[in-house]
């Protein structure tokens, strides 16, 4: 298991494993990092989803109406982030949580759809 594609396939298998083996997962991802030295990025599509977009839009309008423009600007930024994530998810037809390796980036697309998403995300956050 030396090619990055093979390692990514195995990382993806861990997402749906019935019995999540944290030691094996950590060893594999550490080996991947040592060999290929990728930048690791979490794209949290579970957080930046349509419901977050609608909430940000509502709150932005609320704070604009009471002229709290500083707070409205924060929600405008969240709205932009949500739109960016939704566009990426749609453009690349991302339907489930997965790892993806491209151009020296190891992406973790988190949608909250895999059995072990929570454990994997917690560990990946420590690496980033």
Contacts of 44 (CB under 8 A, 6+ apart): 85, 110, 121
- pLDDT confidence of residue 11: 97
pLDDT digits (tens, 9 = 90+) for 91-122: 999 999 999 999 999 999 999 999 999 999 99
If asked whether residues 101 and 69 sit together in one domain, one would say: no
- pLDDT confidence of residue 1: 58
User: CA-CA distance, 52 to 68, in Å (whole number)?
Assistant: 20
- pLDDT confidence of residue 2: 79
If asked whether residues 57 and 84 sit together in one domain, one would say: yes
User: CA-CA distance, 59 to 20, in Å (whole number)?
Assistant: 39
- pLDDT confidence of residue 128: 80
If asked whether residues 65 and 79 sit together in one domain, one would say: yes
Residue numbers of the chain with a pLDDT score lower than 70: 1
In this structure, what token pair is assigned to residue 1? 């298991």
Q: The domain containing residue 72 runs over which residues?
A: 50-89
If asked whether residues 54 and 77 sit together in one domain, one would say: yes
Q: Give how many domains the chain has, as a whole number.
A: 2
If asked whether residues 80 and 104 sit together in one domain, one would say: no
């Amino acid at each position: 298991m030396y090619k990055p594609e093979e390692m990514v396939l195995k990382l993806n298998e861990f997402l749906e494993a019935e019995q999540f083996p944290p030691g094996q997962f950590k060893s594999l991802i550490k080996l991947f990092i040592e060999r290929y030295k990728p930048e690791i990025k979490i794209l949290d599509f579970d957080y930046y989803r349509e419901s977050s977009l609608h909430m940000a839009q509502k709150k932005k309008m609320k704070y604009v109406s009471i002229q709290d423009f500083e707070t409205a600007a924060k929600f405008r930024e969240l709205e932009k982030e949500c739109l960016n994530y939704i566009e990426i998810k749609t453009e690349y037809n991302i339907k489930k949580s997965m790892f993806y390796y491209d151009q020296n980036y190891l992406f973790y697309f988190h949608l909250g759809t895999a059995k072990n998403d929570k454990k994997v995300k917690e560990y990946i956050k420590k690496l980033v």
